[in-house]
Chains A and B, each alone.
Chain A
Amino acid sequence: MKIVAVCGLGVGSSIIAKMNIESILSDEDKSDVTVDTVDLGSITSAPADIYVTTRELADEFPEDLKKKTIVLTNFVDKADIKAHLDPKMEELEGK
Chain B
Amino acid sequence: MEVIPRLLPDQIQLKKHAEDWQSALRLAAKPLLDQKYITADYVQSMIDSVKKLGPYIVISPGLALGHARPSSAVKKTGFSITTLDKAVKFGNKDNDPVDLIVILASINNVDHLALLQKLVSFLNDSKNLTSLRQMTTSDEATKVAQQINGDF
Contacts and interface: CB of A to CB of B under 8 A. Distances in A.
Contact of A76 (B54, B59, B113): B59
Interface residues of B, number: 31
B60 A74 contact: yes
Given A8-B49, A16-B59, A56 B92 contact: yes
B59 A11 contact: no
A13 B65 contact: yes
Interface of B: 49, 52-57, 59-61, 63, 65, 67-70, 92-95, 104, 106, 109, 112-113, 116-117, 120, 123-124, 126
A68 B19 CA distance: 39
A35 interface: no
B41 to A, nearest CB: 15
A74 B56 contact: no
Contacts, number: 71
Contacts of A7: 56
Contact of B56 (A8, A11, A20): A8
7 contacts: A7-B56, A19-B116, A54-B59, A56-B54, A57-B56, A74-B61, A76-B60
Contacts of A8: 49, 52-53, 56-57
